């Protein structure tokens, strides 16, 4: 066996605690990049192998390799309309998992037959659930399995990482008000609890500041019941007609989803509305695939999907390593920011 260097010696040379050295060498979070590089440089210069303490893997914050798999379970099809955001979250989950030494299995389905073997056979350390609901049968299979949701649904159980929907609504109102708009409008084309949260916060914030608001709402139907070709004629065109008939007409509009904005632009153009001159639009999501072809490109609220993915995995690690906290959930909201063109 070659020469070894103790964690205590590395810690003294780096001016940090032995716990910090252990976390850095195991690739765990909670260590700054500068300290991590310092510790790695000390080990490299010594030419010796760090002497691991005789502690259990769990005590070091690392699970046994047999349990080194987590599953990202997509329970519905909503990600199809937000593919860019889902991809950003997935990338962040995979990168963060790799840093912690975990493998990631991605699964789609909301019934036991569609679950991967790692869940069916109990060989999974934890599960990240992406979606709005879960079937009773799948929920039963996940009993006792550390679970964190990446979602917006307020009624889901226990641990969850969510976008800051209320903050986003306030941010949209503030953006329009700061640009001198006294009368604000918002489109609510389909029934969805997340839309309700964003638009309620938008209206409440504007009202507090003494501004008048109006919500343009048609025949509310669930989003999942709509086909793409129905958006323009059946859903959005009547709302645009309502807005055009308004007197006075709101000059600042909030579209609480980039998909809505992408379909709205051609309708407004056909009606002779000059976007950026006759009306200012603020959108939600900052999804390049929806906004790239819009001229002028609107400001859009970035909800930090990559941060959501990374924080969801970090939260899952805490749940895995602290089973005694089971029953007391944690909800984390990611602060949105405005992405201007």
Instruction: For residue range 282-317, list pLDDT tens digits in order.
Output: 999 999 989 999 999 999 999 888 888 999 999 888
Q: What would the pLDDT profile of 130-168 be if each residue is shown by its tens digit?
A: 877 788 888 888 887 888 988 766 555 578 888 888 999
**159 and 178 housed in the same domain:** no
Is pTM beyond 0.85? Reply is: no
Q: Give pLDDT, residue 208.
A: 95
Q: What would the pLDDT profile of 5-48 be if each residue is shown by its tens digit?
A: 888 888 888 887 776 777 677 666 556 778 888 888 888 888 78
As for how many domains the chain has, the answer is 3
Is 60 a domain residue? no
Is 78 a domain residue? yes
Is 58 a domain residue? no
Kindly report the number of other CB atoms within 10 A of residue 78's CB atom.
Answer: 17
**252 and 135 housed in the same domain:** no
Structure tokens at 86: 């889902």
**119 and 100 housed in the same domain:** yes
Domain that holds residue 151: 65-163+306-335
Helices (H), 209-257: 230, 237-245
Pairing of strands 252-254, 183-188: parallel
Is 341 a domain residue? no
**218 and 265 housed in the same domain:** yes
CATH number at residue 16: 1.10.260.40
CATH number at residue 113: 3.40.50.2300
**180 and 298 housed in the same domain:** yes
**181 and 294 housed in the same domain:** yes
**249 and 264 housed in the same domain:** yes
Q: Distance (Å, rounded) from C-alpha 146 to C-alpha 323?
A: 8
- State percent of the chain over pLDDT 70: 82
Q: Residue 279 burial (CB < 10 Å; 0-12/13-18/19+)?
A: middle
Whether residue 64 is predicted with pLDDT greater than 70 in this model: the reply is no
Is 59 a domain residue? no
**173 and 262 housed in the same domain:** yes
């Amino acid at each position: 066996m070659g020469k070894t260097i103790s964690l205590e010696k590395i810690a003294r040379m780096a001016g940090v605690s032995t716990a910090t050295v252990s976390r850095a060498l195991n690739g765990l979070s909670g260590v700054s990049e500068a300290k991590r590089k310092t510790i790695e440089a000390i080990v490299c210069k010594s030419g010796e192998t760090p002497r691991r303490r005789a502690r259990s893997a769990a005590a070091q914050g690392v699970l046994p390799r047999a349990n080194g798999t987590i599953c990202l379970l997509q329970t519905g099809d909503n990600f199809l309309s937000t593919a860019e955001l889902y991809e950003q979250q997935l990338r962040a989950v995979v990168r963060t998992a790799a840093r912690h030494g975990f493998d990631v299995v991605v699964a789609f389905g909301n019934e036991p037959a569609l679950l991967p073997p790692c869940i069916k056979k109990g060989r999974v350390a934890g599960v990240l659930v992406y979606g709005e609901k879960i079937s009773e049968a799948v929920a039963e299979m996940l009993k006792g399995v550390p679970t964190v949701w990446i979602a917006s649904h307020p009624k889901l159980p226990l641990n969850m990482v969510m976008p800051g929907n209320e903050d986003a609504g306030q941010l949209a109102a503030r953006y329009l008000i700061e640009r001198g708009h006294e009368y604000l409008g918002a489109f609510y084309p389909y029934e969805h609890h997340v839309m309700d949260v964003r638009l309620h916060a938008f209206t409440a914030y504007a009202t507090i500041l003494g501004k008048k608001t109006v919500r343009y709402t048609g025949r509310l139907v669930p989003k999942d019941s709509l086909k793409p070709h129905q958006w323009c004629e059946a859903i959005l065109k009547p709302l645009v007609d309502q807005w055009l008939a308004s007197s006075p007409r709101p000059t600042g509009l909030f579209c609480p989803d980039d998909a809505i904005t992408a379909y709205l632009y051609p309708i407004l153009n056909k009606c002779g509305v000059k976007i950026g001159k006759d009306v200012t639009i603020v959108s939600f999501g900052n999804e390049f695939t929806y906004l790239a072809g819009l001229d002028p490109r609107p400001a859009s609220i970035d909800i930090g999907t990559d941060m959501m993915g990374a924080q969801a995995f970090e939260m899952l690690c805490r749940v895995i390593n602290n089973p005694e906290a089971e029953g007391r959930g944690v909800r984390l909201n990611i602060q949105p920011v405005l992405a201007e063109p």
